Amino acid sequence: DGQLDLGFNVLLGYAFRTRTFVRVDAGYNLRLGSAGDQVLSAVRAGQGIGERVLLYGWVQLAYTVTEGRPLGVSVAAIDPDLPAAEYSGARNLLLRELRLERDQLDVGGGVILRITREVELNLGYARTLWGRNTAAVDSLSVSIGVRTNFRGYR
């Protein structure tokens, strides 16, 4: 939406001795433009396998709780099989007001591979399962994490 947001989140997690972790997130997205504010939530879990592999998965929701500014009106056919010549005015039209609001439910997962003590490779996949005023997205991600020490810092 091209605007500034302030996010407030609480993250609660636990790592078990079995190399399993679980994290629950709850938050609020204060949207400083004219978009509706959002309540945020997520659950993440993962399992370490051996010394070099971590499998993980997650589900997250962003749900609009305040009304965003109107963007305009969208028109849809009530009966899409009716020929346009038979519409006779707005009889077959459904008018929908669009607002600057966005809801979405996403799921994802992936694997983190430890290449060396300092380098990890993260391969992930995410999918939008449900949404309002958002695109249905399938995404693949590849990232590299590098740990380093700076002299004088521990």
The answer to whether the beta carbons of residues 41 and 27 sit under 8 Å apart is yes
pLDDT at 1 exceeding the cut of 70? no
Q: Given this model, what pLDDT does residue 144 score?
A: 97
Q: Of residues 113 and 82, which shows the higher confidence score?
A: 113
**Residue pLDDT, tens place only, 18-49:** 999 999 999 999 998 889 999 999 999 999 99
The whole-number average pLDDT for the span 56-76 is 93
CA-wise closest residue to 137 among 111, 107, 110: 107
**Residue pLDDT, tens place only, 89-107:** 777 888 888 888 999 999 9
Which residue in this structure is represented by tokens 């993962």? Answer: 46
d(CA 104, CA 106): 6
pLDDT at 154 exceeding the cut of 80? no
The overall longest dimension of the chain from CA atoms, in Å, is 78
